[in-house]
Structure 1
């Protein structure tokens, strides 16, 4: 079985597991959140090994270098060898993840533990008060 030399960018995003579905990959490309070699592209744009691809999703910017192309979507292990994430992208992703964890811990009483029955009652009482006016 031979491996293709090029593949549509929307399909490659799906095969490489950077997006959950091919439709989400096409939507991201159409919305202008995907660039290849710093150029905005259409879903039909062909991706080749060596291309630099940038995917924006909210604050997160994933920047990868395409290393390979496979015909069919496989396991996460197979997908991980299809690209190399840049160091800046990896650092940004890890920093944003740490910030989200910290924010979630600060929102919950007890530094990240589940709300107690007392906490839940207080939340419900405050919500009812706000609803009444």
Structure 2
């Protein structure tokens, strides 16, 4: 890894190696979709990442902001991947607040008291067919 500290690594490869995304293709799609910012600016998948850069990643409702601590082109165990970045205190606090809000509101899902009976299922199906 000392050899890589002098160079740069593509951001899509780094996001994959740091286990932000399961595949490099998903990392590339997120970057193209504007879900990833490097040093406050949108970027392309081939953009180089250096130690000390700030990366902001949006995955659904989850938003992470971290600083690049090390570079890697290889995907390793999760323990090693966590050494590649340091999440900012604001990001950790924000995610904790969101987690607590979801817990308190029950995920904001309105669940019916019971499963629909045969008549209700037919009405639901008829409504779906009319659309």
- Superposition pairs for residues 8-19 of structure 1, below 5 Å? 8-19=10-21
- 1:24 offset after TM fit, Å? 0.7
Counterpart-to-counterpart distance in 1, 2:117 and 2:75: 46
Give the TM-score taking structure 2 as reference length: 0.78
Q: Is 1:127 aligned with 2:121?
A: yes
Counterpart-to-counterpart distance in 1, 2:109 and 2:126: 28
Unaligned 5+ segments in structure 2 are none
Give the TM-score taking structure 1 as reference length: 0.77
Say what the alpha-carbon RMSD is for the aligned residues.
Answer: 2.4
Query: What is the total number of aligned residue pairs between the two structures?
Result: 123
Q: Is 1:4 aligned with 2:7?
A: no
1:32 and 1:46, CA in 2 relative to 1: closer, same or farther beyond 3 A? same
Counterpart-to-counterpart distance in 2, 1:78 and 1:87: 21
Of structures 1 and 2, the one scoring higher in RCO (CA 8 A, sep 6+) is 2
